[in-house]
Amino acid sequence: MIEQVIFSIILIAAIVLFTKNVKKIIRNIRLGKSENRSDQPTRRLNIMLRVAFGQTKMAARPIPAILHFFVYAGFIIINIEVIEIIIDGIFGTHRIFAKPLGGTYIFLIASFEWLALSIIIACSIFLIRRNILRIKRFFGVEMSSWPRSDANYILFFEIVLMSAFLLMNASDFKVLQSTLSIPISSSAFPISSLLSAFLTSDMPSLILTERIFWWLHIAGILAFLNYLPYSKHFHIIMAFPNTYYSNLPPRASLDNMPAVTNEVKAMLDPSYQPTEMLAGTFGSKDVQDLSWKNLMDAYTCTECGRCTSECPANITGKLLSPRKIVMDTRDRLTEVGKNIDKHGSGYSDGKSLLDDYITREEIWACTTCQACIKACPVNIDPMAIIMDLRRYVVMEESKAAPSLNNMFSNIENNGAPWKYPASDRFNWSHDENN
């Protein structure tokens, strides 16, 4: 009974703490400007099922795609077993699903063990790729000690959780072999039955071992749950809403600013009346100026580096890294959220996303090719953040680069980016000999 009470207290505390942290993240996302992403729900659902659930964009890199599939599928399916552990922990039962499910339960446990082994192997290979092979896209100026450590912690944690699960089963298998009148087949425990050979035959020690690894497994899962909001691994939750709210217009299109559209329409038609009043500022200087979807992108980033590895500006040595843009946005948003928790919503720390986190050299290095958007496995749009920061620099500060100012003047005077008049545009077609 004491064990049940302790488990219930830990379970409730873990759920309450996780809920509290998730509410803060939702609060932070809602600091962004409103944006309508509720249209075409059927199409959005299809994108979510294909990209987030189906992992289709991972296939661009087959080896990590296969490894990630085992980790992803394993964690989703093995969580069925977590339900049983929670019920057992609350009510003091032991493998409560075994009797009602019968032969199906044996199949499930065997499947869980093979999946657990695949997770251990995949995570071990991921650790080797990061720390021994040191694949280039896992490094960069934004990948400081914490992002690199965070990735390693997650992989190590997953290996520990799956190892605890297998050792829990191994000790339980040996107990069942000794106590049941008809010994249980090792086919129900294909991996743990092999590990049981290394365990003692002393019954009290076996029962204690099973309890130790049972607690390590479930307590580790609850701890991992509360680590998620502080980690890049939060994408396992955020990937689903983020892909649902993906940008639906063609990837090559750039959105017009409603405020500018209203201004132009009013200039062309004095009788025009905008349907809604819009803010008087253009672009974004800080995270509160971005849309809520931009901020959701920031919390969804997996830090995989695919965007940066495909970015032509980064490849040619420019300062820009799309991954850094998204990570900087998340770091700044987290800082703003902490300021709200500590000082209230009206507090200003004198910092901003532009200049304090993202430099002007970075935003002007972007070619707007949108390779980063295509490469992202969860449909994050770093370019949208860059474009909004550019708009602020140009339209609020009037600090565009001289070359851009020349282009703006040419468009204003000649109706084209070039410095010659419209009447001369077709001169190239004339034969020089005539």
**Residue 156: count of CB within 10 angstroms of its CB:** 13
Instruction: Count structural domains, the chain.
Output: 2
Question: Do both 139 and 13 map to the same domain?
Answer: yes
Q: What is the secondary structure of 14-42 as a DSSP string?
A: HHHHHHHHHHHHHHHHTTSBP----S-HH
pLDDT for res 78:
79
Which of 217, 244, 271 is the C-terminal boundary of a domain?
244
Residue 66 in domain? yes
Per-residue pLDDT of the chain (434 residues; tens, 9 = 90+): 899 999 999 999 999 999 999 999 999 999 999 999 999 999 999 999 999 999 999 999 999 999 999 998 887 887 788 999 999 999 999 889 988 988 888 899 999 999 999 999 999 999 999 999 999 999 999 999 999 999 999 999 999 999 999 999 999 999 888 877 556 777 889 999 999 989 988 899 999 999 999 999 999 999 999 999 999 999 999 999 999 999 988 766 777 877 788 778 888 888 887 766 555 678 999 999 999 999 999 999 999 999 999 999 999 999 999 999 999 999 999 999 999 999 998 899 999 999 999 999 999 999 999 999 999 999 999 999 999 999 999 989 988 888 888 988 888 888 888 888 878 878 877 766 55
Burial 247-264 (b: 16+ CB within 10 A, else e): eeeeeeeeeebebeebee
Question: Do both 238 and 314 map to the same domain?
Answer: no
Question: Do both 99 and 218 map to the same domain?
Answer: yes
Question: Do both 282 and 201 map to the same domain?
Answer: no
pLDDT for res 182:
56
Find all residues with CB under 8 Å of 279, minimum gap 6, and list them.
33, 259
Residue 381 in domain? yes
Residue 43 in domain? no
Question: Do both 213 and 297 map to the same domain?
Answer: no
Residue 420 in domain? no
Question: Do both 240 and 271 map to the same domain?
Answer: no
| Domain range for 15 | 2-30+61-244
CA 288 to chain centre: 20
User: Are 385 and 290 within 8 A, CB to CB?
Assistant: yes
Question: Do both 204 and 271 map to the same domain?
Answer: no
pTM over 0.85: yes
The tokens 């709210």 sit on which residue?
245
User: Are 378 and 72 within 8 A, CB to CB?
Assistant: no
Q: Give the residue among 303, 267, 259, 263 at the shortest CA–CA distance from 284.
A: 259
Question: Do both 155 and 231 map to the same domain?
Answer: yes
Question: Do both 236 and 113 map to the same domain?
Answer: yes
User: Are 5 and 13 within 8 A, CB to CB?
Assistant: no
Find all residues with CB under 8 Å of 6, minimum gap 6, and list them.
none
Residue 434 in domain? no
**Rounded Cα gap, residues 389 and 395, in angstroms:** 10
Q: What is the CA radius of gyration of the chain?
A: 28
Residue 48 in domain? no
pLDDT for res 133:
95
pLDDT for res 258:
76
pLDDT for res 277:
59
pLDDT for res 280:
64
Q: What is the CATH number of the domain that holds 272?
A: 1.10.1060
Question: Do both 267 and 331 map to the same domain?
Answer: yes
Residue 53 in domain? no
Question: Do both 228 and 100 map to the same domain?
Answer: yes
Question: Do both 18 and 164 map to the same domain?
Answer: yes
Find all residues with CB under 8 Å of 128, minimum gap 6, and list them.
none
Residue 380 in domain? yes
pLDDT for res 353:
97
